[in-house]
Chain A
Amino acid sequence: MNGLKKFGSKIRIPALSISVALLVGAIFIIFTDIEVLGGLLSDPIGALSLGIGRAAASYSALFRGAFGDPENIGKALASNGDIKLWARALRPIVESVVASVPLIFVGLGVSVAFRTGIFNIGGAGQYTMGAVGGTLAALLFGAGVTPAPIAILLVMIFGVIGGAAWAFIPGYLKARVGASEVITTIMLNFIAGQFVFFLVSNFEFIQKPPRIQPVSKELSQFVDLPGILPISALRMDISIIIALLTAVAVSWFLFRSTRGFELRAAGLNLAAAKYAGIGAGTSIITAMLISGAISGLGGALVAVGTIKQLSPGIAGSVGFTAIAIALVGGTRPSGVVATALVFGLLQHGGSLMQVETSIPIEMLLFIQALVIAFIAAPELTLGILKNPFRRRPRSVAK
């Protein structure tokens, strides 16, 4: 009972944040509906109920897209093992988990840096460079050049190297000359995108044959990550298992190893850590290398296994989402995995919502921003819960 209470207090603010953000999202859906806005003056109640109905329909689509349609699940249960029906019933939830894989990786990577007191906004760039590494490895060693398991291993190693190398630059600059990692990582994100653009539009070895679009060749011809589900129509490959193993490893590293303790100490109080003999520079560089390596591993696995192609925009909004995930998850591996799954559900559910009710999936970005704001200002969040209209006395902790 005590454990349950502890768990409850731990997830109270994250859960509250996400719920409030979704609620605000619903209000946003209602008040960006031109028909609702148009009817607001002549028939407010009718217009509002129309809006609420549409918001409910959108969130229902979001739910079905995330977890699966109850109707389909019912049919599958009744069918007595019809593979096709089962595949249809399970596809949404499986795809949601697949969507959370890059989020787990980058969220973990960003968390390690956060724990060390480094605000690594470069998750997107490190992920992208990991994808570059993985793609190059697949093109070089895939398609029978080396046995499949070795090729997969090389994809992972190259991804790790790509991400770590990209993270080394801001880490080194921060440690040696104190250059703000915020600025350098933002800049490196852009450079990574341009670099991929350069690669996929200038090299015959990489670019897709007619050489018109700036995308790489189909990577599935080179390396194919083995699936883990008995139904082959569902594409869930070993990258989710690697993601979970990485989470366990990060957890062990941060909370059970000496090096991890040093990083956390440096993150809590750099001056005190220095006093205790922990090298600040080494901590920063180590943290950035690990952070980049994890993000890069994710980039390589997702580029080769899930998207099966390298393109300049491969990172999408994963860098932003990862920051939200790291903060919501309390920069704790278990929290990150759980939050990444929630965001994966939202993301895949959001795509069905976009198809069915034409609510743009970009709403999720907005929701993420709100969630980050709520998490970063717990006082604000709890204030909303208590009484939004009571002015709190201005007695900030001194």
Chain B
Amino acid sequence: MRKKKPVAAARAKTTTAAPAKRSTSVGDGADAQQQLIASRVRAGLFALFTLLSLAITSGSVGVEGKFAFWVDKVGGTDVAFSVPVVLLWAAVTVGFGAMAALQLVRGASFRWRLAIGLVSPVLVFALLARLLDGTTANLTVFFTSTLLYTVPVGIGALAGIIAERSGFLNIAVEGKLLFGAMIGSIASSITGIAIAGPIAGAIFGALVSLFLAWLGIRYKVDQIIAGTVINIGALGVTTFAYLRILQPYSEFNRPIGITPIQIPFLSDIPVIGPILFSLSPYFYIAVGLVLFFTYMIYRTRWGLRLRAAGEQPNAAGTVGIDVVKLRYRAMLVAGLLAGFAGSYIALSGTGGFGVNTSAGKGFIALAAVIFGAWNPVYAFGAALIFGMTSAATTLLSGLGVSLPPQILLSMPYIVTIIVVAGLIGRVRAPASAGRPYDQG
């Protein structure tokens, strides 16, 4: 890999100039041109969606979408209701139409991420209602599975954001999720204490993360290669340990599940209670973590230093910030988070750890990082949208509705490629993510 060093050096040289250019030329030049093009592409896409949904609207007159809610508690009394599909689709059409118009008029300053966030729930409903085909969908299940999907993906994304904000490209979230899941399951099974699972998962995730940081910082191994090492190694080690220990001696893989909690009073609210306030404690912790780290990143000295190290480590080093230490600490935090997220996968459901149990969620977390433009709240929102598609797929296949689920399941990946390509709006990674730092 010694051969790659000149490339890194060359990259470093070209990028020292790049951020400066970006910061001075928000209003003019090639960058503005690109933004204009991107906003036009977006407007075109939204217009296309408007036409599509208009076609579906006209085709679904008289079709009823049947939904149900659990009113008092999970699995309790359900109240069924039906909505004319045409109404839902009309709403979607109006939404997309408004987005297309606003995008065209307001150009680059239109907050399209927010708009997508507002329209997609309606869109998912409309899709569901159209595809249900006479069967009744339980929306409480749909919502809770959406929210729970965001736990591993949202926290994993947070881990990615913190690492990358410090300048360490973290493609090893997937590997840390796997390790966190396995160690969490084992610790919980051996000790018989429910809380031991998440704690052990987090600690082991941190150790793995520090190893990754050590490879990348001390030995200057290309951060992508180091991340790949962790991902491959995690798959190998956890599968090996599962087949060799956890499967034959299943007493090591019978964790105490972390079951949903009923928040007093709030969980008694009709309809909303079973959806929002009867979830796994993991979810509430995840929301808390996201809010906490959003505050930390944007409003504290630590956050400012973190971002400085990720954008201009040399400048940060010049003013006396210990970039190396800061990156190690960021990786420590990222590892704690990713391991914690991994423990959720093994401890929330039934059956504990399984082979490749994270099933690519770590990579979807990376997608959420990019889609959310390295902002924890946006990334969490992206995880919610991905969670919704996943929940819709599960729901539809459970109801026996024939729709190739592969298309829906590919959505997060396709969306990520489109976002990375900058076609619908440029997102900018921390300028120095992925580059080793020389403390000269």
Given contacts A177-B422, A187-B416, A191-B414, contact A368 B407 (CB under 8 A): no
Indicate whether B96 reaches chain A with its CB closer than 8 angstroms: no
Q: Are A367 and B236 in contact (CB under 8 A)?
A: yes
Indicate whether A270 reaches chain B with its CB closer than 8 angstroms: yes
Number of contact residues on A: which range applies? 35 or more
Given the complex of chains A and B, what is the CA–CA distance between A190 and B345 in angstroms? Answer: 20
Indicate whether A372 reaches chain B with its CB closer than 8 angstroms: yes
Q: Are B417 and A320 in contact (CB under 8 A)?
A: no
Indicate whether A219 reaches chain B with its CB closer than 8 angstroms: no
Given contacts A190-B360, A376-B222, contact A198 B407 (CB under 8 A): yes
Indicate whether B101 reaches chain A with its CB closer than 8 angstroms: no
- Within 8 Å CB of B265, what residues of A? none
Indicate whether B325 reaches chain A with its CB closer than 8 angstroms: no
- Within 8 Å CB of A179, what residues of B? 417, 420-422
Q: Are B236 and A187 in contact (CB under 8 A)?
A: no
In this complex, the member of B226, B244, B245, B407 whose beta carbon has the largest number of chain A beta carbons within 10 angstroms is B244
Contact of B224 among A119, A178, A331, A358 (CB under 8 A): A119
Q: Are A195 and B406 in contact (CB under 8 A)?
A: yes
Contact with B along A13-28 (1 / 0, CB 8 A): 0000000000000001
Q: Are A270 and B420 in contact (CB under 8 A)?
A: no
- Within 8 Å CB of A180, what residues of B? 420, 429
Q: A28-B240, A327-B225, A362-B235 are in contact. List 5 more A-B contacts (CB 8 A).
A: A183-B367, A187-B367, A365-B232, A368-B236, A376-B225
Given the complex of chains A and B, what is the CA–CA distance between A380 and B229 in angstroms? Answer: 15
- CB proximity of B248 to chain A, nearest CB, Å: 8
- CB proximity of B435 to chain A, nearest CB, Å: 13
Contact with B along A361-378 (1 / 0, CB 8 A): 011111111101101111
Q: Write 14 A-B pairs (CB below 8 A) sorted by A numbering.
A: A28-B237, A34-B249, A179-B422, A186-B171, A187-B413, A270-B7, A320-B235, A365-B236, A368-B232, A373-B233, A375-B1, A376-B219, A376-B221, A380-B219
Contact of A32 among B232, B241, B407, B421 (CB under 8 A): B241
- In chain A, positions 254-276 with a C-beta closer than 8 Å to chain B are 267-272
- CB proximity of B195 to chain A, nearest CB, Å: 25
B interface residues, tally (CB under 8 Å): 58
Contact with A along B356-394 (1 / 0, CB 8 A): 000010010011001000000000000000000000000
- Within 8 Å CB of B416, what residues of A? 183, 187
In this complex, the member of A179, A180, A377, A379 whose beta carbon has the largest number of chain B beta carbons within 10 angstroms is A377
Q: Are A269 and B417 in contact (CB under 8 A)?
A: no
- Within 8 Å CB of B215, what residues of A? 373, 376-377, 380
Indicate whether A188 reaches chain B with its CB closer than 8 angstroms: yes
- CB proximity of B217 to chain A, nearest CB, Å: 10
Contact with A along B397-415 (1 / 0, CB 8 A): 0000000101101100110
Contact of B225 among A33, A191, A317, A372 (CB under 8 A): A372
Given the complex of chains A and B, what is the CA–CA distance between A271 and B423 in angstroms? Answer: 25
Stretch from B8-16, B42-50, B122-130 at the A interface? B8-16
- CB proximity of A377 to chain B, nearest CB, Å: 4
- In chain A, positions 364-398 with a C-beta closer than 8 Å to chain B are 364-370, 372-373, 375-380, 396, 398
Q: Are B404 and A365 in contact (CB under 8 A)?
A: no
Indicate whether A150 reaches chain B with its CB closer than 8 angstroms: no
Q: Are A362 and B240 in contact (CB under 8 A)?
A: yes
Q: Are B421 and A363 in contact (CB under 8 A)?
A: no
- Within 8 Å CB of B404, what residues of A? 198, 201-202
Given the complex of chains A and B, what is the CA–CA distance between A201 and B429 in angstroms? Answer: 38
Q: Number of residue pairs across A and B with beta carbons under 8 Å?
A: 169
Indicate whether A145 reaches chain B with its CB closer than 8 angstroms: no
- Within 8 Å CB of B220, what residues of A? 377, 396
Given contacts A190-B360, A366-B236, contact A360 B243 (CB under 8 A): yes
Quick one: closest A residue to B369, CB to CB?
A183
- In chain B, positions 209-223 with a C-beta closer than 8 Å to chain A are 215, 219-222
- In chain A, positions 95-146 with a C-beta closer than 8 Å to chain B are 117, 119, 121
Q: Are B243 and A362 in contact (CB under 8 A)?
A: yes
Indicate whether A323 reaches chain B with its CB closer than 8 angstroms: yes
Quick one: closest A residue to B34, CB to CB?
A177
Quick one: closest A residue to B9, CB to CB?
A269
Q: Are B438 and A398 in contact (CB under 8 A)?
A: yes
- Within 8 Å CB of A379, what residues of B? 219
Indicate whether A194 reaches chain B with its CB closer than 8 angstroms: yes
- Within 8 Å CB of B423, what residues of A? 177
- In chain B, positions 321-350 with a C-beta closer than 8 Å to chain A are none
Indicate whether A359 reaches chain B with its CB closer than 8 angstroms: yes
- Within 8 Å CB of A363, what residues of B? 236, 240
Q: Are B410 and A365 in contact (CB under 8 A)?
A: no
- In chain A, positions 176-224 with a C-beta closer than 8 Å to chain B are 177-180, 182-184, 186-188, 190-191, 194-195, 197-198, 201-202
Quick one: closest B residue to A32, CB to CB?
B244
Indicate whether A173 reaches chain B with its CB closer than 8 angstroms: yes
Q: Are A369 and B244 in contact (CB under 8 A)?
A: no
Given the complex of chains A and B, what is the CA–CA distance between A173 and B225 in angstroms? Answer: 21
Q: Are B244 and A359 in contact (CB under 8 A)?
A: yes
Indicate whether B140 reaches chain A with its CB closer than 8 angstroms: no
In this complex, the member of A187, A363, A375 whose beta carbon has the largest number of chain B beta carbons within 10 angstroms is A187
Given the complex of chains A and B, what is the CA–CA distance between A186 and B422 in angstroms? Answer: 17
Given the complex of chains A and B, what is the CA–CA distance between A169 and B416 in angstroms? Answer: 13
Quick one: closest B residue to A323, CB to CB?
B228
Indicate whether B86 reaches chain A with its CB closer than 8 angstroms: no
Given the complex of chains A and B, what is the CA–CA distance between A363 and B220 in angstroms? Answer: 26
Quick one: closest B residue to A116, CB to CB?
B7
- Within 8 Å CB of B6, what residues of A? 268-269
